[in-house]
């Protein structure tokens, strides 16, 4: 059974960046306002995410890393949004099958924190009392130590680290009320450092740089005002400025996802209006009723399709076209 679990876990956690994404989403779900990521050896030696969220109760620690253990199914809205999040209670469990997990946490009504370790879905021994400030710190060590073939394919730690940095940049510009930092172990400086409560544009400027931020147009689309079923707001590049790499940052219902059809549609608009802007920066936040979002359940990719996708895409395209045309006349 352990082998089967390990294989399944290796599907959920494909690379270090997949583990980071799950940890960061958990921290955000826990109401954190500050989040620190520390990475060693591209994440294979160490991934550590520290937050100042609500923490984990002592009595929840023994089952924390069992499969399908989640604290997020209590409300009706949560049940509805299962679909948009793809899967539930799999992430931490999966990490324990492919790495060594240590959790240090304190809730606001405890005098001290607790530390527990996990392996293959079970807790090592009784949680030990320890000093802790606020929130939760989760440490994954020796990721894929038991998956030699996987480890071999992940020899480029610089590449894995840059994927992690890229991910944190994306979170940082969406969750502007949270401060993010991401640092390589041993480095004096953080590679991402965002400030909480900044405006979206300030967040983009601090994370992606002035040259990206100064060429952006604000864009908003929604259904007729009487219905609240679809809303999009975002920022799109408005010039021939070429970003270092294409950045299409898409959040649907506050979840970082990918939508191939929308991405292609956006590329078509740029090709028609600004043919030289070959690598524009695009940030979009779409809000939809959760039942309109279909996640193609590959947990790492989060590729989504939307109900009435063609209509939504057309609306976004025509809004983009008029924005880009107006500002370039
Ligand atoms: P899910 O997020 O789908 O519930 P996970 O395996 O990612 O499943 O996490 C399991 C549970 O562990 C969460 O439901 C939550 O209760 C708890 N948890 C994980 N990370 C944190 C954190 N940083 N702060 C507080 N609780 C957390
Ligand atoms: Mg989770």
Answering whether pTM is above 0.90, one says: yes
pLDDT value, residue 58 = 96
Q: Is the CB of 45 under 6 A from ligand 1?
A: no
CA of 250 relative to ligand 2 center, distance in Å: 19
CA–centroid distance, 18 to ligand 1, in Å, is 15
Which residues are registered as beta bridge partners of 285? 233, 251
pLDDT of 60:
95
Residue 197 CA, ligand 2 centroid: distance in Å: 24
Question: What separation in angstroms does the CA of 174 have from each of 64, 141, 202, 204, 212?
Answer: 28, 28, 11, 9, 16
Distance 324 CA to ligand 1 centre (A): 42
Contact (Cβ atoms closer than 8 angstroms) between residue 141 and residue 100: yes
Render each residue's pLDDT in the chain as its tens digit; 329 residues.
778 889 889 988 999 999 999 999 999 999 999 999 999 999 999 999 999 999 999 999 999 998 877 777 555 455 555 443 445 678 999 999 999 999 999 999 999 999 999 999 999 999 999 999 899 999 999 999 999 999 999 999 999 999 999 999 999 999 999 999 999 999 999 999 998 888 999 999 999 888 888 889 999 998 776 666 899 999 999 875 556 665 899 999 898 999 999 999 999 999 898 877 668 899 999 999 887 887 765 656 578 888 889 999 999 999 999 999 988 77
Which numbered atom of ligand 1 lies nearest the CA of 55?
Answer: 25
Q: Quickly count: other Cβ atoms within 10 Å of residue 154's Cβ.
A: 19
Ligand 1 in contact with 56 (CB < 6 A)? yes
Q: What share of the chain is helix, strand, coil (3-state, %, to 5)?
A: 35, 25, 35
Query: What is the whole-number distance in angstroms between the Cα of residue 64 and the centre of ligand 1?
Result: 8
Q: Which helix (H) or strand (E) segment is 151 a member of?
A: helix 148-153
All structural domains of the chain, each given as residue ranges with its CATH number in brackets, are 2-193 (3.30.565.10), 209-327 (3.30.230.10)
274 CB under 6 A from ligand 1? no
Q: How far is residue 113 CA from its own chain's centroid?
A: 26
Ligand nearest to the CA of 93: 1
Q: CB of 70 closer than 6 A to ligand 1? A: yes
Q: Is 36 in the pocket of ligand 1 (CB under 6 A)?
A: no
């Amino acid at each position: 059974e352990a082998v089967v679990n390990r294989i399944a876990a290796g599907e959920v956690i494909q690379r270090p960046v997949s583990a980071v994404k799950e940890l960061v989403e958990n921290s955000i779900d826990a109401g954190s306002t500050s989040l620190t990521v520390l990475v060693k050896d591209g994440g294979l030696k160490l991934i550590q995410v520290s937050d100042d969220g609500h923490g984990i109760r002592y009595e929840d620690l023994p089952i924390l890393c069992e499969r399908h253990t989640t604290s997020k199914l209590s409300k009706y809205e949560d049940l509805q949004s299962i679909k948009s999040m793809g899967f539930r209670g799999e992430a931490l469990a999966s990490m324990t099958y492919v790495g060594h997990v240590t959790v240090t946490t304190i809730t606001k009504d405890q005098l001290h924190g607790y530390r527990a370790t996990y392996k293959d879905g079970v807790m090592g021994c009784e949680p030990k009392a320890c000093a802790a400030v606020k929130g939760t710190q989760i440490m994954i060590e020796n990721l894929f130590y038991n998956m030699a073939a996987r480890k071999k394919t992940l020899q480029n730690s610089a590449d894995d680290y840059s994927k992690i940095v890229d991910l944190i940049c994306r979170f940082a510009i969406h969750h502007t009320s949270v401060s993010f930092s991401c640092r390589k172990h041993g480095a004096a400086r953080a590679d991402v450092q965002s400030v909480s409560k900044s405006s979206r544009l300030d967040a983009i400027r601090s994370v992606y740089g002035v040259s990206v931020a100064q060429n952006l147009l604000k864009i908003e689309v929604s259904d007729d005002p009487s219905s609240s079923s679809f809303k999009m707001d975002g920022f799109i590049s408005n010039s021939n400025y070429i970003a270092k790499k294409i950045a299409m940052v898409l959040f649907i219902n506050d979840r970082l996802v990918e939508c191939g059809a929308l991405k292609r549609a956006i590329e078509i608009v740029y090709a028609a209006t600004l043919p030289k802007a070959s690598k524009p920066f695009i940030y979009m936040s779409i809000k939809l009723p959760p039942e309109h979002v279909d996640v193609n359940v590959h947990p790492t990719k989060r590729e989504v399709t939307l109900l009435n996708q063609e209509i939504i895409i057309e609306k976004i395209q025509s809004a983009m076209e008029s924005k880009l045309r107006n500002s370039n006349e």
